[in-house]
């Protein structure tokens, strides 16, 4: 029943697996990217298929509707220009005040829009892939924001044409976060639950932290990956853990991680 | 026939892994993504040979791990651990029966993620686990069980439509035909 051919097949698969496991991390990462790139034509095809209805809808749009949309865009553009002028004045004033009290000058964010092309097929990770890669200047650990400007995660690995991002709530995505209250309590945003991706845990807050439901949480800037002030979410509830050694809170995320189609990559 | 089956199963595995990453509706409706690789492994174990099962375990595992945050190669052994014993013992399995297909599909879909998590934990990785993982495990098991007979039917149809069919020989031989007519009488 157990023929020699079976032994050979079993041995070959075990050998291949052991060989892959014993690869150095860099070689394993390259092999992973190479295997993943086999799917690129399918992703391209899926993207084209998604664009088709939009293109078809654009093609049959009436001239009257187009002119109406153009007029709306012109009006919106004028309002945005006015807002930009106001913002530039505020930035100048902010820079002067920072210089007056000797604070470091704040650099404006450089953003690049990316499409989310796939989600992790495994239920025990919270990652996704975007269609910007190293040829677009993406590097590991760049922060990722939702279209509304809320924190989503960070870049974990980069290919030439695409990058993998780790979303908040994955055990491998730790973020130093500050609660916007009187005491400015700082904690570490860690793993969420496997089912609900809108709630994550904020731990290692001081035992005397003054937390209330609805208080805003933003990045603290500690750790060097995420710049300070990126909004994350709101406190839901808090409790003392480890015999009152520190406080742990649950944070409801502002970004809807389940419906991400486009994200901003934040460049330094 | 076997080579055709092997190619068909590998193509289906490639497509299944791709679809699992693009169509995320099950994840948001049921809280878990259904994995079709264990169900495909059951089909391969019952209808192809041990070489095809091994190729599917290696290729399917690599494809799945390449698109997920799993370390590369983690899914190969769980797939093989499910497919290999079934392939070796398949003479004792009533593979034509939908009940057997559903049972084996459920078993494989439950064991593959469990083995994968065990390998991840033993390798020092920290996957996202909690009480909700039990629900995800149930959804994966039920999804795999439901998908297995569907895959069997689909592959049977493909084999029938695209593969070579056995030519049945008739027992009729023209040279042995007895001619009866009025003169002979």
pLDDT of B8-48, one tens digit each?
999 999 999 999 998 888 888 888 999 999 999 999 999 98
Band of the pLDDT at A2, cuts 50, 70, 90? Answer: low
Please state, in angstroms and rounded to a whole number, the distance separating the CA atoms of residues B148 and B105. 5
Please state, in angstroms and rounded to a whole number, the distance separating the CA atoms of residues B83 and B41. 6
- Helix (H, G, I), strand (E, B), or coil: what is residue A97? helix
List, as ranges, residues 108-167 from B with C-beta within 8 Å of A.
113, 116-117, 120, 126-130, 132-133, 135-136, 140
Distance from CA of B172 to the nearest CA of A (A): 39
Contact B53 A36 (CB under 8 A): no
Cα A208 to Cα A76, A182, A233, A244, distances in angstroms = 47, 12, 21, 9
- Select from A121, A124, A194 the Cβ nearest to the Cβ of B67: A121
Comparison of pLDDT for B66 and A61, the residue scoring more? B66
Average confidence (pLDDT) over B97-115? 94
Q: What is the pLDDT, as a whole number, of residue B174? A: 76
Q: What is the pLDDT, as a whole number, of residue B161? A: 84
- Select from A10, A28, A46 the Cβ nearest to the Cβ of B84: A10
Average confidence (pLDDT) over A39-66? 85
Query: Is residue A221 pLDDT above 80, yes or no?
Result: yes
CB under 8 A, 24+ apart: contacts of A149-153: A149/A230, A149/A231, A149/A264, A150/A230, A150/A231, A150/A232, A150/A233, A150/A253, A150/A254, A150/A255, A151/A175, A151/A219, A151/A226, A151/A230, A151/A231, A151/A232, A151/A254, A151/A255, A152/A255, A152/A257, A152/A260, A152/A263
**pLDDT per residue over B38-79, tens digit each?**
999 999 999 988 999 999 999 999 999 999 999 999 999 999
Distance from CA of B149 to the nearest CA of A (A): 22
Q: What is the pLDDT, as a whole number, of residue A8? A: 87
Structure-block tokens of residue A178: 């500050």
Band of the pLDDT at B100, cuts 50, 70, 90? Answer: very high
- Select from B54, B72, B135 the Cβ nearest to the Cβ of A28: B72
Question: Which of A122, A128, A164 is best to mutate for the B interface (most B CBs within 10 A)?
Answer: A122
**pLDDT per residue over A98-140, tens digit each?**
888 877 666 677 889 999 989 999 999 999 999 999 999 999 9
Structure-block tokens of residue A4: 């020699």
Q: What is the pLDDT, as a whole number, of residue A182? A: 85
CB B165 within 8 A of CB B129: no
Cα A252 to Cα A145, A214, A236, B52, distances in angstroms = 16, 9, 6, 47
Q: A143 and chain B: CB distance < 8 Å anywhere?
A: no
Q: What is the pLDDT, as a whole number, of residue B90? A: 86
Query: Is residue B1 pLDDT above 80, yes or no?
Result: no
Give me the helix-helix angle, B50-67 and B2-22, nearest 10°: 20
Q: What is the pLDDT, as a whole number, of residue B184? A: 52
CB A152 within 8 A of CB A167: yes
DSSP secondary structure of A30-54: HHHHHHHGGGHHHHHHHHHHHHHHH
Contact A156 B88 (CB under 8 A): no
Comparison of pLDDT for A40 and A244, the residue scoring more? A40
Query: Is residue A242 pLDDT above 90, yes or no?
Result: no
Average confidence (pLDDT) over A249-257? 92
Distance from CA of B126 to the nearest CA of A (A): 6
Q: Interface pTM (ipTM) of the complex?
A: 0.82
* Parallel, antiparallel or unpaired: strands A186-192 and A175-179: antiparallel
**pLDDT per residue over B114-147, tens digit each?**
999 999 999 899 899 989 999 999 999 999 999 9
Give backbone dihedrals phi and psi of A154, rounded to 5 degrees, phi first. -145, 165
Q: What is the pLDDT, as a whole number, of residue A81? A: 94
- Select from B68, B73, B127 the Cβ nearest to the Cβ of A21: B73
Band of the pLDDT at A151, cuts 50, 70, 90? Answer: very high
Question: Could you give the percent of chain A with pLDDT greater than 70?
Answer: 97
């Amino acid at each position: 029943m157990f023929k020699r051919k079976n032994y050979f097949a079993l041995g070959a698969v075990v050998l291949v697996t052991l060989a892959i496991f014993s690869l150095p991390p860099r070689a394993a990462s390259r092999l992973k990217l190479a295997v993943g790139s086999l799917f690129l034509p399918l992703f391209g095809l899926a993207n084209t298929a998604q664009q088709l209805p939009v293109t078809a809808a654009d093609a049959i749009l009436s001239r009257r509707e187009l002119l109406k949309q153009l007029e709306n865009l012109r009006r919106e553009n004028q309002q945005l220009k006015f807002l930009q002028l106001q913002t530039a004045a505020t930035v100048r004033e902010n820079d002067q005040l920072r210089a007056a009290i000797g604070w470091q000058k704040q650099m404006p964010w450089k953003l690049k829009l990316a499409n989310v092309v796939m989600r992790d097929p495994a239920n025990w990770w919270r990652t996704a892939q975007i269609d910007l890669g190293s040829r677009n200047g993406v590097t590991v650990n760049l922060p990722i924001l939702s279209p509304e400007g809320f924190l989503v995660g960070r870049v974990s690995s980069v290919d030439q044409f695409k990058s993998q991002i780790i979303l908040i709530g994955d055990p491998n995505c730790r973020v130093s976060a500050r609660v916007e209250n009187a005491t400015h309590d700082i904690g570490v945003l860690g793993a969420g639950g496997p089912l609900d991706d809108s709630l994550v845990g904020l731990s290692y807050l001081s035992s005397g932290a003054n937390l209330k439901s609805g208080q805003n949480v933003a990045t603290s800037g500690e750790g060097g990956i995420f710049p300070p002030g990126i909004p994350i979410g709101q406190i839901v509830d808090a409790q003392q853990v480890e015999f009152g050694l520190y406080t742990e809170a649950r944070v409801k995320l502002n970004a809807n991680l389940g419906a991400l189609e486009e994200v901003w990559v934040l460049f330094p | 026939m076997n080579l055709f089956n092997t190619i068909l199963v590998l193509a289906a595995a490639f497509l299944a892994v791709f679809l699992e990453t693009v169509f995320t509706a099950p994840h948001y409706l049921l809280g878990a993504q259904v994995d079709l690789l264990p169900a495909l492994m059951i089909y391969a174990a019952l209808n192809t040979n041990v070489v095809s099962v091994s190729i599917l375990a290696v290729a399917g595992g690599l494809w799945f791990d390449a698109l997920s945050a799993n370390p590369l190669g983690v899914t190969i052994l769980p797939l093989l651990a499910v497919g290999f014993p079934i392939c070796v013992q398949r003479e004792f399995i009533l593979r034509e029966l939908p009940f057997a297909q559903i049972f084996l599909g459920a078993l494989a879909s439950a064991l593959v993620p469990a083995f994968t998590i065990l390998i991840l934990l033993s390798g020092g990785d920290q996957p996202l686990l909690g009480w909700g993982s039990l629900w995800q495990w149930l959804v994966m098991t039920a999804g795999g069980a439901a998908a297995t007979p569907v895959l069997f039917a689909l592959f049977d149809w493909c084999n029938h439509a695209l593969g070579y069919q056995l030519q049945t020989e008739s027992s009729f031989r023209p040279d042995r035909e007895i001619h009866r007519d009025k003169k002979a009488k």
